[in-house]
Amino acid sequence: MDIALYQPDQPPNTGTLLRLGACMQVAVHIIEPCGFPFSKRALKRYAMDYADFVDLHHHRDWDAFNAHRKSTGQRLILLTTKADSPYSNFTFQKNDILIVGSESSGAPDLVHTAADARVTVPMSADVRSLNVAVSMAMVLGEGIRQTDSWPKN
């Protein structure tokens, strides 16, 4: 299972998701443009000492990412507040890519259209959304549990 960040604009969330990828041994895809400078030096700052342990795939834009995904035959599962299906009712596969949109604007229509499935984290109707890193950790945890893909020591 992989995780992907579509045009992230918050370095701390990106760092958290890179750390999640390193700890759970899942690849992380960063889809440009980012709302902050993304370089090897910046990566070290965002991901701290976890940068050396993450399987990072850096894509110059959506088209490059989507071409990569199609070439590997991976399903794209979008985490969004605009879905009716709770993630806990979804059947994950080991080679899925879980994707979140940017923190400020979410995922655009082209990502929604390309997604093989859209899932949501059920939450209070009084609030807008969870942090993307928190949502990804919850959904990735369920995907790993379902597929028994826990990290190897």
Percent of the chain, pLDDT > 90? 81
pLDDT digit string, tens, across residues 86-100: 999 999 999 999 999
pTM score, whole prediction? 0.95
**Confidence band, pLDDT 50/70/90 cuts, at residue 101:** very high
Domain 2-147, classified CATH 3.40.1280.10, yes or no: yes
Residue 140 and residue 134: Cα distance in Å, rounded?
A: 10
Q: What are phi and psi of 140, to 5 degrees?
A: -60, -40
Question: What are the structural domain ranges in the chain?
Answer: 2-147
DSSP annotation of 35:
S
pLDDT digit string, tens, across residues 57-82: 999 999 999 999 999 999 999 999 99
